[in-house]
Structure 1
Amino acid sequence: MNKFAFLVAILPSLVFTEIVPVQECQTGPLPTSVDVIGCSKLPCKLSRGQEAVVYVDFRPASDASALRPSVFATVLGVTVPFSLPEDWQNACDWLVGTRCPLTAGEDVMYVLRLPVQKTYPPVAVDVELRLIDQAEQVVSCFVVSAKVV
């Protein structure tokens, strides 16, 4: 990959985000880093009526020809699936500086966009992201603490 193109692709994440600590999932390996735009400490504030943008750096342990996001929200001890818009269902479309298929050990950046509806109540929430490959194996997974404001 052209080093200049890669630098241009990741520059927004270097300027506007900070790496935040995340929790490990029971279902898969942690990403290399997670950067939430506008979040410098936990819980990350998710503003109603806006999109939360998360840059996820990871290295797949095996080759992946397809990738899809699976998001869950845990509020007051109850975990529910979080539906992403249809055009965000293919994680391969939201990779920065690379495309599917992915090679084992490759450094990959995925951009997760979460719509935070105005109707959501102001509440603490744990957001879990699983990136799942064509064999339904979890390639990377993390949980981040947030608060809807």
Structure 2
Amino acid sequence: MYKLLLLVSLVPALVLGITPVRQCPNGAGLPATVDINGCTALPCPIQNNSPIVAHGLDIVSPVDTATLTAHISVRLLGLEIPFPIPPELVDACAAGVEPGTCPVSVGQVFDYTLDHPGMELPVVGVTVQVEVGLTADNGAHVTCVAFDAQILP
């Protein structure tokens, strides 16, 4: 009986590709579910210079905001590795948040998809810490997820 319950509870995670993530140090809220390239266990394998698609579902805004700005941070042993977000993806209201969602009201629930084309990283074969988040027009952190990624050649 317990094995059946365990199996039933794990199947949706495997089907949906739910990625285990951590809260960012900035304390921003987490989406209800996250899927990063179908990763279901950390570290997530990320192919160097290949697209990264991350879906955050059921994000609850802690503030009213007219805009949402996307950001990505990549760290190796505490040192920041350059990983600029393409200019066309910085405005999350224009690229990533469902059209018509912005402006966002406090308590509003929305989804966000980051469809990053990928880029050549100066390091491969290592595990890095990645943060992906959205910031409100007043600088408040709306949401942020942290996860470990192994950069593959």
Quickly name the TM-score band, shorter chain normalised.
0.7 to 0.9
Q: TM-score, normalised by structure 2?
A: 0.78
Q: CA deviation at 1:33?
A: 1.9
Q: For 1:137 and 1:119, how far apart are their aligned partners in 2?
A: 29
Which of the pair is proportionally richer in strand? 1
The Cα shift of 1:80 comes to: 4.2
Paired letter, 2:140: Q
Q: Does residue 26 in structure 1 map to residue 28 in structure 2?
A: no
Contact 1:129 1:141 in 2 (8 A): yes
RMSD after superposition? 2.2
**Alignment correspondent of 2:86:** 85
- TM normalised by structure 1 equals 0.80
Tell me the residue number matched to 1:147. 150
Measure how far apart 1:95 and its partner are: 0.9
Once the 2 structures are TM-superposed, how far is the Cα of residue 128 of structure 1 from its aligned partner?
A: 0.5
| 5+ long unaligned stretches in structure 2 | 1-12
C-alpha separation in 2, matches of 1:147 and 1:46: 6
Cα drift, residue 116 of structure 1: 3.1
Give the letter for the 1:18 counterpart: G
The aligned amino acid for 1:35 is D
Aligned to 1:8: none
Matched, 1:128 2:131: yes
Q: Give the conservation status (yes or no) of the 8 Å contact 1:74–1:125.
A: yes
Task: Work out the number of aligned pairs and report it.
Answer: 136
Aligned residue type for 1:22: V
2:45 equivalent to 1:42: no
- Aligned residue identity for 1:147: Q
Deviations 1:67-122 (A, max 9, x none): 00121101122134531111111011211364211122222111113343345432
Counterpart code for 1:138? H
* Distance in 1 separating the partners of 2:56 and 2:98: 10
Runs of 4+ with deviation above 3 angstroms: 14-17
Change (3 A) 1:86 1:15: farther
Identify unmatched segments of 5+ residues in structure 1: 1-13
Residues 61 and 105, structure 2, Cα contact 8 Å, conserved in 1: yes
Q: Is the 8 A contact 2:14 2:40 kept in 1?
A: no
